[in-house]
């Protein structure tokens, strides 16, 4: 009986992952070695956050530059950010605007 109870959460986790959506930032215009991915990441976030299914935002293998991004919720379903590549920060942090500006 204990084995059956322990197996239920694991099975539910697999069902959630199997039914999740993936939002790859390259589908939103981000390019490895290219320019700033801030807008692509924000667009992927907005689509994932408005989804009623669990979602993953994917930053694939490669090197990406991110100036700034304000990712806000609450979202309609669980959301994960998966980074397989390298995300480089803006070289001059003083050039990043504060949220109130």
Helix (H) or strand (E) holding 66: strand 63-66
**More confidently predicted of 12 and 22:** 22
Q: What is the value of pTM for the model shown?
A: 0.75
Residue 100: per-residue pLDDT = 52
Residue 94: per-residue pLDDT = 72
Domain that holds residue 28: 21-95
Instruction: Give the Cα separation of 28 and 32 in Å (integer).
Output: 12
Structure token pair of residue 30: 């981000």
- On whether residue 75 sits in a domain, the answer given is yes
Structure token pair of residue 82: 């998966």
pLDDT band at 98 (very low <50, low <70, confident <90, very high): low
- On whether residue 100 sits in a domain, the answer given is no
pLDDT band at 91 (very low <50, low <70, confident <90, very high): confident
Q: What is the CA radius of gyration of the chain?
A: 17
* pLDDT over threshold 90, residue 13: no
- On whether residue 13 sits in a domain, the answer given is no
What mean pLDDT do residues 66-82 have? 92
- On whether residue 5 sits in a domain, the answer given is no
- On whether residue 10 sits in a domain, the answer given is no
Count: domains in the chain: 1
Instruction: Give the Cα separation of 24 and 91 in Å (integer).
Output: 25
């Amino acid at each position: 009986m204990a084995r059956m109870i322990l197996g239920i959460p694991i099975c539910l986790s697999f069902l959630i992952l199997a039914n999740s959506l993936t939002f790859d930032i390259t589908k939103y215009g981000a390019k490895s070695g290219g320019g700033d991915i801030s807008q692509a990441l924000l667009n992927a976030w907005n689509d994932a956050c408005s989804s009623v299914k669990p979602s993953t935002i994917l930053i694939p293998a490669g090197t990406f530059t991110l100036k700034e991004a304000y990712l806000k919720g609450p979202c309609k379903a669980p959301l994960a950010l998966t980074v397989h590549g390298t995300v480089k920060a803006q070289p001059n942090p003083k050039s990043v605007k504060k949220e109130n500006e």
